[in-house]
């Protein structure tokens, strides 16, 4: 989806900010569920996940965000501050039913986005977690394993390796250099 698609189909920055942050950070469903307003460090272009809230780790994490993601999150923050449903919570995002997002609601959103984008899902098992795998793949291809490891919040490279598989184009480029 392009920013123009969002402008046409959405009147809120909530879902675009959620999806963009997830695309940059490879957020796990539990991290979206736990995400708090003070995690967003938009002045630094990052999201901070405290060790108490980190999934599968006891370290705190600073995860980079792209400039367009920061802009969407800033717009969402301004909008969020005006919505009564957020008065008594510090959660960044809530579902239409005022609940924190979870695996089921995120998979439902993911299905909707795939349909809107016309993504052919025949013989493909795609779900919200596919975003995380995609982030890992692209980070490893473009920035290397160490960058992917840090962005995905892995303690070891071995964990990151399961998310990576050199693309056909990457392998072809390597062959051309030989």
pLDDT category, 3, cuts 50, 70, 90? low
- Give the burial string for 17-47 (b: 16+ CB within 10 Å, else e): bbbbbbbbbbbbbbbbbbbeeebbeeeeebb
Contacts of residue 11, defined as CB under 8 A and 6 or more positions apart, other chains included, come to none
pLDDT in tens, 19-75: 999 999 888 899 999 999 999 999 999 999 887 777 776 677 888 899 999 999 999
Sheet hosting strand 40-41, strand order edge to edge = 40-41, 46-49, 61-64
Q: Is the pLDDT of residue 11 over 60?
A: yes
Which residue shows structure tokens 């480029």? 173
0.85 surpassed by pTM: no
Percent of the chain beyond pLDDT 70? 92
**Region at 164 (left for phi over 0; alpha for psi -120 to 50; beta for the rest):** beta
> Mind listing the pLDDT tens digit for each residue in 149-175?
777 777 778 877 777 777 778 778 888
CATH of segment(s) 3-125: 1.10.443.10
């Amino acid at each position: 989806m392009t920013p123009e698609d969002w402008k046409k189909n959405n009147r809120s920055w909530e879902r675009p900010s959620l999806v963009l942050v997830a695309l940059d950070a490879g957020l796990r469903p539990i991290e979206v569920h736990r995400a708090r307003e003070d995690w967003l460090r938009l002045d630094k272009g990052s999201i901070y996940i405290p060790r108490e809230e980190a999934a599968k780790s006891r370290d705190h994490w600073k995860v980079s965000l792209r400039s367009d993601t920061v802009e969407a999150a800033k717009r969402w923050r301004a909008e969020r501050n005006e919505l009564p449903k957020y008065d008594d919570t510090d959660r960044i995002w809530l579902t239409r039913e005022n609940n924190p997002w979870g695996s089921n609601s995120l998979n439902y959103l993911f299905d909707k986005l795939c349909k809107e984008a016309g993504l052919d899902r025949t013989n493909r098992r795609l779900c919200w977690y596919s975003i995380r795998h995609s982030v890992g793949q692209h980070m490893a291809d473009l920035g290397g394993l160490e960058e992917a490891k840090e962005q995905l919040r892995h303690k070891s490279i071995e964990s990151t390796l399961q998310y990576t598989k050199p693309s056909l184009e990457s392998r072809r480029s390597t062959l051309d250099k030989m």
